[in-house]
Amino acid sequence: MTDETKKKLEEAIVSLIKEYTNKKRFKPGDIVKEMEGKFSASGVTKDDVKSAIRELTDSGQLIYGYAGGSFLALPE
Amino acid sequence: MSKKHQTPLLDELKKGKWPSFVREIERAAEKSEMTDDLLGQVEQSYREKVVHWKHGGMVGVKGYGSGIVGRFSDLPEKYPGIKEFHTVRVNQTAGFFYTSDMLRKMVDIGEKHASALFNFHGSTGDIQLLGAKTSELETIFQEYTKLGFDLGGSGSALRTPSCCVGKARCEFANFDSMHMCDGITQAFQDEMHRPVFNYKFKFKFSACGNDCTASIARADLSVIGTWKDDIRIDQEAVKDYGKKFNLHQYVIDKCPTKCMSYSDEGGLKIENSNCSRCMHCINTMPKALRPGTKGGATILIGAKAPMVSGPRLSMVLVPFYDVEEDAKNDYAWFKDLISKIWEFWDEYGVSRERIGELIQRVGVGNFIESIGLEPLPEMVANPRGNPFVLYEEYVEADEEQKG
């Protein structure tokens, strides 16, 4: 995965969660499946998406929440 | 110290000579004002028979999706001290061994930054520090990290693996459960701290059939010690036990598979091929009987507690796993099996579905085929209970007749 693809992937993840704020809670697994499909042409794998989620949570751009199951959200 | 809240119902639980959790909370309340409010809310819950806790939410430490269980009072005006009362799960040591010095340091952190109350240990196995405020979580995490501890699992993640005391203190251990638990914990840190599963997943390692971690009833994947060869018998020691109690009444007749016989002339005889390794005879006569020397483990899958859809016991997945051999390769075979199981669960599982429920839904046959295991008679928990063998030649013959 190129740096450019990685950047696009991270932006797509944040933008998806932003778009559905207060409408839908995305489990990390949902994001992985969604992004794997969306970026399949760029050769993005499950592990790439997991790695992107890790970087986004490590940098504080996304946080985890829990309501019956774990989900990803934007920081309050 | 004067009590902020009157607690007549809780006071009843201090009577008697046994330890009381109420007394312990009161002692903690001497050092923590929030714990005084805890007593008030628990008293109110007992009186009204209503739980006043809410859990979940957006609490955690940076980068981690696990390890903090958000807990809030639904009566924050009345009990402001416990408006936020989160639980911090700290990954326990394998076998629960600590020095007293380390315990004091851990408790100091709990007294300074939380309610001074701990669970040693929670049912998952973790050390649980209770009553942390959101603003204190990062500090608590950093302080425990300095001591060499990390957070455990919570949410839709791998829960902190736990094990029995194994070879450190138990003569029945058939494999080194502590070594394996530690190895697997280190290997799957990412799965534990960053939830990506459909729901929780628990490993538990018990080094013999006594199953001190109760893994057969609580773990999604249980590793339970067993042995391949014969039970070792000291006939003289058996005779000594015969002088203390009735061997037939307490041992022979209680054997679930009736594979034992005893006579004064012939001594104790065991038909080892029929032994189910239940451990009853060994537990009753530990000086006379010992597990065989070819130790290993049975891997079982699918147990869970009653949450969401009722309790389940696990089923055998691998009847005999040579732990010692795999340990030489850093548990490579075991890790590969786990990866295949998680891959299957990720692909076919739905939200909040445990692996045991998924196997029940799709069938054992489909599951084991997907993870590359051969069907074995040991996988059948009960006759006609979970049949999965498809005799393809009969199906083909039937189709030919119809065609």
Model confidence at B308: pLDDT above 90: no
- What's the pLDDT tens digit per position in B203-251? 999 999 999 999 999 999 999 999 999 999 999 999 999 999 999 999 9
- Interface probe with A: pick from B134, B188, B196, most Cβ of A within 10 Å: B196
Provide the pLDDT for residue B2. Answer: 59
Q: With contact defined as beta carbons under 8 Å apart, do B207 and B175 qualify?
A: yes
Q: Is B273 helix (H, G, I), strand (E, B) or coil?
A: helix
- Architecture of domain B162-228+295-379 in this structure: 2-Layer Sandwich (3.30)
- Interface probe with B: pick from A13, A48, A63, A66, most Cβ of B within 10 Å: A66
- Residues from chain B contacting residue A54 (CB–CB below 8 Å): 63, 190, 194
Q: With contact defined as beta carbons under 8 Å apart, do B70 and B58 qualify?
A: yes
> Quick check: B56 and A67 CB within 8 A?
yes
ipTM associated with this complex: 0.87
Q: Which fold has domain B232-290?
A: Alpha-Beta Plaits (3.30.70)
Model confidence at A43: pLDDT above 60: yes
Instruction: Write out the two tokens for B18.
Output: 């046994």
Q: How far is B117 from chain A, CA to nearest CA, in Å?
A: 23
> Quick check: B155 and A69 CB within 8 A?
yes
Model confidence at A74: pLDDT above 70: yes
Amino acid at B65: G
> Quick check: B56 and A29 CB within 8 A?
no
Q: With contact defined as beta carbons under 8 Å apart, do B155 and B56 qualify?
A: no
- Residues from chain B contacting residue A27 (CB–CB below 8 Å): 156, 195, 198, 351
pLDDT band, residue A69 (cuts 50/70/90): confident
The reply to whether domains B8-146 and B162-228+295-379 share a CATH topology is no
pLDDT band, residue A68 (cuts 50/70/90): confident
Instruction: Write out the two tokens for A52.
Output: 């992107």
- Residues from chain B contacting residue A57 (CB–CB below 8 Å): 62-65, 194
Provide the pLDDT for residue B123. Answer: 86
- What's the pLDDT tens digit per position in B342-396? 999 999 999 889 999 999 999 898 999 999 999 998 888 766 555 555 556 655 6
Which of the 8 DSSP states describes residue B174?
Answer: S
Q: How far is A61 from chain B, CA to nearest CA, in Å?
A: 10
Domain residue extents for chain B: 8-146, 162-228+295-379, 232-290
What class does CATH assign to A3-73? mainly alpha
Model confidence at B306: pLDDT above 90: no
Select the residue of A28, A53, A64 nearest B60 (Cβ to Cβ).
A64
Q: Beta B203-206 vs B127-132: how paired, if at all?
A: unpaired
Model confidence at B20: pLDDT above 80: yes
Q: Is B56 helix (H, G, I), strand (E, B) or coil?
A: coil
Q: Is B224 helix (H, G, I), strand (E, B) or coil?
A: strand
- What's the pLDDT tens digit per position in B288-301? 999 999 999 999 99
Domain residue extents for chain A: 3-73
Provide the pLDDT for residue B396. Answer: 64
Share of chain B above pLDDT 90, in %: 81
Which DSSP string do the residues of B5-33 spell out, in sequence order?
A: S--HHHHHTT-SSS--HHHHHHHHHTT-H
Q: Is B398 helix (H, G, I), strand (E, B) or coil?
A: helix
Model confidence at B272: pLDDT above 80: yes
Provide the pLDDT for residue B255. Answer: 95
Model confidence at A29: pLDDT above 80: yes
Q: What is the mean pLDDT of residues A34-62?
A: 91
Q: What is the mean pLDDT of residues A4-22?
A: 93
- Architecture of domain B8-146 in this structure: 2-Layer Sandwich (3.30)
For residue A21, give Cα distances in angstroms to A18, A52, A73, B195, B384. Answer: 5, 20, 8, 19, 48
Select the residue of A58, A60, A73 nearest B58 (Cβ to Cβ).
A73
Provide the pLDDT for residue B74. Answer: 95
Phi-psi region of B277 (alpha: psi -120 to 50; beta: other; left: phi over 0): left
Q: With contact defined as beta carbons under 8 Å apart, do B174 and B225 qualify?
A: yes
- What's the pLDDT tens digit per position in B37-62? 999 999 999 999 999 999 878 899 98
